[in-house]
Amino acid sequence: MNKFILILLWLGSMMLAQATTIENYQPYLQPGLDKARLQLADIEPLIKQYAADPALKVTELGRSVENRPIYLLQLGQGEKRVMAWSQMHGDEHTATAALFDFLNYTLAPEQQAWREQWFSEITLYIVPMLNPDGAARNSRVNAQGIDINRDALALQSPEGRLLMQLARRIQPHYGFNLHDQNRFHAAGDAPNPATISLLAPAYNAAREINDSRRRAMQLIAHVKPWLDRQIPDHLGRYNDSWSPRSFGDTFAGMGISTVLVEAGGHRNDDNRQVARRLNFQLYVAWINAIVSGSYRDAALSDYEAIPFNNSGGLKDLILSKLQVRVADTEATLDIGVNFHTEGDRYARIHELGDLTGYGAYHQFDVSGLRYQQGRAYPLTEALLLDDQRYQQLLRLGYTHFSGDAKLLQRQTNLPVLVNPLRPTQSSPQLRQGATFLLVNAQGEVIQVLLNGQLLDLARLEVLNPLGT
C-alpha cells in the first residue's frame, strides 16, 4: 500500500515536472519579430490588435522623452500581481518578441481553460517596450542619454518615472525584469554562450536573503532543471553585486520578488531566437508556478548551483595554433577575433596567445598554416572582379584593394575590402584589424581572413559568414 502511494506520488511529481512549461511553442511565435532590432512600429500594430480583445486591457502608460507612447497591457484579475517590463534598454529587444509570443499563447482559443484558471489568480501587467526612443535609435539609453536602469533613485527620465509610478500604484508581488546581455558572456567555465542568465537581485550590499528575495530565487531554482535540459551548460547567473540605482535592486528593496532575465547569444542564432522562445516558455512556467505555489518547494541550492556568467569568456572567432614569426621569434598562437559595431561592422583582434578555456561562436584549428601580411591591389584601371579573378588575386597575396573604388566592378558575393580602415599588419596586433593570409609550408595561400571572415580559398567559401 505504501509502495503504491509512493508510486502515485512519484507519477504525480513527474507530471508536475513535465507541466513546468509548454513544449509546443512553435505555433505561437509571433511572425515578423525575428529581426536584428525591434522598434515601436514593429509592435504597435500588434498592440492595437490586442486592444480590441476583451481578454486584456490596453492603456497608454505614458510618453517617452520624444513623445512616443509607452503601453501597458493588463491581463487577469487575480490577487497575485505580476509586473513584467522589457526593452528598458532600447537595443535589447529579445524579451519584447517573447512577450508577444506569450500573449499569442495566452489568448489562443485552445488555451481558454488555462487562461481562465490563471486569470482568476493573477493580474499580470506588461510594459512591452519601456524605451521606445532608444529602440528607435538602437541605443541602450533613452533620448536624454540616460540609462533608465541606473535611474531608479534619481528618476530623471520620464520612462523611469513611469515604471516607478506603476510599481507604486499596483504594488506587484513579482517582477520580471527583461533584458539582453552581451554575447561574450560564457556560462560559467563552460566554453558556451550564456544563452539565458538569471538573477534574483540583491536589495542590500550584504546581499542578504529575505522572504521576497527568497521567492525570486525559488522561482529561478524551480525552472533550473528544465533549463538545464533545454540548454545544457548554456545557463548562467548574472552578476549579483548590489546596484541600488537599478530598478531590479530597488524593486527588490520594495519587497517585490524580482527575477532578472538576460537573453544571450547562441551559436548560429544571430537574432537570439533560442533565448526568445526560452523567455516565452519561462513566462508560462512562472505563471504556472505562481498559481500553484509549487516553486516554494524549490531548493535555494539549485539557485546557488547556477554558475556565474564568465564575462568575456566567449569570442566571435578563434583561430588556433597559427604559426607567427615576429622578428626572429617563432611562436604558435591562438588568435581571438571579435566583431564590433560602431557605425560599420568590423572585426578586431581581441586576444593573442593561449586561448585554451575560451569558447567561440566559430573556432578553427589552423595548425600547419602561417600568418602572412596581405597586399593592397592598386585600382588604376577598370577591374571586373568575379570569383575566379578574385581567387587568383587572393592566391597572389592581395587581401584588399586601394585607390578609386569606382573602378572595381564586383561580380562576386564574397567579402571584398576596398580602402579598408584597418589595414593588414606585418604581424597580428591586438585591437587591430583582422585581415591576413594563412599560408602553408610551401608559401601557398590556403585561407584568407577578410575583416574577420575566414575564406577557404580552394572552395571559395566563407567558413564563418556574418550573421551566424
Q: How far is the CB of 140 from Zn ion (least distance, A)?
A: 7
Nearest residue to 135 via CA among 94, 163, 195: 94
- CB-wise, 30 or 177, nearer to Zn ion? 177
Q: How far is the CB of 378 from Zn ion (least distance, A)?
A: 46
Any idea which residue has 526593452 for its cell?
Answer: 87
Q: How far is the CB of 179 from Zn ion (least distance, A)?
A: 3
Any idea which residue has 544571430 for its cell?
Answer: 270
Q: How far is the CB of 249 from Zn ion (least distance, A)?
A: 13
Distances from the Cα of 428 to the Cαs of 158, 362, 370, 455, in angstroms? 47, 19, 11, 18
Integer Cα distance of 128 and 86 in angstroms: 5
> Sign of the C-alpha dihedral, residues 88, 90, 95, 96?
positive
Any idea which residue has 560599420 for its cell?
Answer: 344
Q: How far is the CB of 89 from Zn ion (least distance, A)?
A: 4
- CB-wise, 180 or 316, nearer to Zn ion? 180
Q: Give the ranges where 348-433 is alpha helix by DSSP (H).
A: 387-395
Contact 287, 214 (CB under 8 A): no
Q: How far is the CB of 199 from Zn ion (least distance, A)?
A: 12
- CB-wise, 92 or 351, nearer to Zn ion? 92
DSSP 186-198: EETTSSSB-SEEE
Cell numbers for 310: 564568465
- CB-wise, 179 or 276, nearer to Zn ion? 179
- CB-wise, 92 or 133, nearer to Zn ion? 92
Nearest residue to 375 via CA among 326, 315, 424, 332: 424
Q: How far is the CB of 362 from Zn ion (least distance, A)?
A: 26
- Nearest residue to Zn ion, using CB? 179
- CB-wise, 220 or 450, nearer to Zn ion? 220
Instruction: Note the residues at the interface with Zn ion (CB under 5 A).
Output: 89, 92, 179
- CB-wise, 88 or 434, nearer to Zn ion? 88
- CB-wise, 249 or 334, nearer to Zn ion? 249
Using DSSP's 3-state secondary structure scheme, residue 263 falls into: strand
Q: How far is the CB of 151 from Zn ion (least distance, A)?
A: 13
Integer Cα distance of 88 and 71 in angstroms: 13
Distance of CA 216 to the CA centre of its chain: 22
Cell numbers for 205: 550590499
